[in-house]
Amino acid sequence: MSSEEAKKRIAELSAELKTHTYNYYVLAMPTISDYGFDKKLEELIALEQQFPEWLAPDSPSQKVGGFITKEFATVKHRWPMLSLGNTYNEQELTDFDQRIRKAIGDNFEYVCELKFDGLSISLTYENGELLRAVTRGDGVQGDDVTTNALTIQTIPKKIKTTGYPEQFEIRGEVFMHLKAFERLNNERVENGEQPYANPRNFASGTLKMQDSAEVAKRPLDTFLYFLYTEKLLFRTHWESLEAVKTWGFPVNEHNKLCGNINEVFDFIKYWDKKRFDLSYDIDGIVIKVNSYAQQQELGFTAKSPRWAIAYKFKAEQAETELLNVSYQVGRTGAVTPVANLQPVLLAGTTVKRATLHNADEIELRLKLHEHDWVFVEKGGEIIPKITSVNLAKRKPDAKPVMYMSNCPACGTLLKRKEGEAAYYCLNEDGCPPQIVGKMQHFIGRKAMNIDGLGDETIETLYQKRFIKHISDLYHLADHKEALMLMDRFGEKSINNMLEGIELSKAMPFAKVLFGLGIRYVGETVARKLANYFKTIDRLATATFEELLLAEEIGDRIAQSIIDWFKDEHHRAEIENLKASGLQFETVEVEVKLASESLLGKTFIISGVFEKYSRDELKDLIEQHGGKILSSISAKLNYLVAGDNMGPAKLEKAQKLNIPIISDQELFGLIGE
């Protein structure tokens, strides 16, 4: 390879790796396997060593990986959070062992630990209390997520024993258990939201949420595995792990002290099979030299310690025949293709179905044909996925699998929305799965929470033509005698159902709004909208610009709300629900003013603030007599501006000569 060819290839690899790093760390949506990433990185490093003149300071080979998000304060790590070198086979691990022996001799031990598939975290304690929690970020600095970390039950807020140093740092991994992931992901699908691909992505997305109250609702967990102190307290890593356990930190029970590389291999082989019995995902084993003195002697490269390495498991695969592709219609109208497979044993379970995601997956990436033999992988996914096709087994006359053009439930022509991968059935008021799905969503625990009604009952009532719309639920009492003639509908169960429906009329506006099932309006967004607009009528008539003024409302949500209220069937349904006595207004709680320093003053809050949410600033203004407006006009006294404020708002405020102040200047007006 010539120097110019090397330059071009190095540039290509660098660009690719930077994109993959951003997708993994910032978006929490990786688009390449760990193995594929490592192979590209190895190629880049080899070329840079051969042609050092093209080694750039910002090359992916020189970075640990990751970017800093803008939502949190950035904190520099006292000790850099380096990544580990990866290996995928026994020979590479043997080579690692021989390098260690060559450097420090034969008298040493290894500590083997499970490699958790989560998000790295660094916790700093001072005088026994949690001072700060920081993500890995780029290895040099990360995001301060202390408020969110405080919601994780297994992270000690205050150490209750003795013997710990005055200040120390402990590192580990935040993760989500598989059952919790499955339950929460199902809720996202029910809410019309994009499901996460795996628990790691969900944990990462959760830890970086701005609303810690929402983080607290998601069951994150953690294992901690490395202690940093100014003064060396222990001789070995194993001793430190035993000590931090007594301090109350969650240390994984499966760690093992190994006397030689053969014991390490035994540990790896054991967990390569047993990992599927765990309640959480692991993707390999971490091997560390036990002695701290020997760790110091071995030292570090620019990217990773020489005394530790990660052995990565290859995701288990199985080959089986594609029987056919079926399609599921969700309550939002999204049509999801599913591969039906010849049953095959994979990772301890029998797999009969695999997700195909969308039309591009079928027609462009996999280029699936009828009765193809496919490779199925579980890896970090809960739902198995097809990774590739065995072209050698494809029949010569096999026809390509074509994504269906019409809804499988009602026959309506499917449409693909601009910028989205999924196809949708737009017949939301005439497509049975959508109608039933919307009603099932409405009665759900997080919406109207109607006792005595379940998904199967809703389906039965729809099939028997008792209900066609959500509002029909509130007229079921008129059909009590007819209901009692149905199988499995006894008088007691009917009474419980009718009582639950009656009680649901008292549910607050935010719950009703969420229950309506407006696309992209999840539980949190519904609450923000109800608090901001106060009534359904104000929300229904809000302009696009007015909707954007509400916290957490972006272009996509705003347009979805406008489109929903344009539909005359939806407006009629609101009127029917109003007539039945449901709550469409937020009940105002009388506020006792902390002072009258902002009395008569009007405010709009826009942008992102480092220490406060917009709701907190809004409450503060109202507590001191100020009033929040919904749009910028000459009546506005102050625009409180944070980061990432929309340029249109800024321009309008400047045109009207409205004072633009920071949150600190707001505190000055209050006198704090």
CA 371, CA 236: separation in Å to the nearest integer?
56
Cα-based torsion angle of the residue sequence 435, 437, 442, 443 in order, rounded to the nearest 10 degrees? 120
CA 185, CA 254: separation in Å to the nearest integer?
28
CA 485, CA 465: separation in Å to the nearest integer?
14
Provide the 3-class DSSP secondary structure of residue 141: strand
CA 459, CA 192: separation in Å to the nearest integer?
19
Element at 317 (helix H, strand E): strand 317-329
Provide the 3-class DSSP secondary structure of residue 394: coil
**DSSP annotation of 392:** G
Q: Are 442 and 515 in contact (CB under 8 A)?
A: yes
CA angle 454, 460, 461 (to 5 degrees): 90
Element at 363 (helix H, strand E): none
CB atoms within 10 A of CB 588: 7
Q: Are 447 and 515 in contact (CB under 8 A)?
A: yes
Residue with the two structure tokens 């009033």: 627
412: tokens are 């309506």
Q: What is the 3-state secondary structure (H, E, C) of 20-42?
A: HHHHHHCCCCCCCCHHHHHHHHH
CA 10, CA 58: separation in Å to the nearest integer?
12
Strands 282-289 and 373-377: unpaired
Question: Which stretches of 127-219 are assigned E, i.e. beta strand?
Answer: 129-135, 141-143, 167-176
State phi, psi for 284 to the nearest 5 degrees.
165, -165
Closest CA to 310 of 123, 120, 122: 120
Provide the 3-class DSSP secondary structure of residue 611: coil
Task: Report how far apart the first and last C-alpha atoms of the chain are (Å, whole number).
Answer: 67
496: tokens are 């419980």
**DSSP annotation of 194:** P
Closest CA to 401 of 412, 418, 389, 383: 389
CA 478, CA 463: separation in Å to the nearest integer?
18
Closest CA to 303 of 41, 22, 83, 120: 83
CA angle 297, 302, 304 (to 5 degrees): 70
CA 484, CA 489: separation in Å to the nearest integer?
6
CA 288, CA 295: separation in Å to the nearest integer?
9
CA 417, CA 600: separation in Å to the nearest integer?
46
Active site residues: 115
244's torsion region: left (phi>0), alpha (psi -120 to 50) or beta? alpha
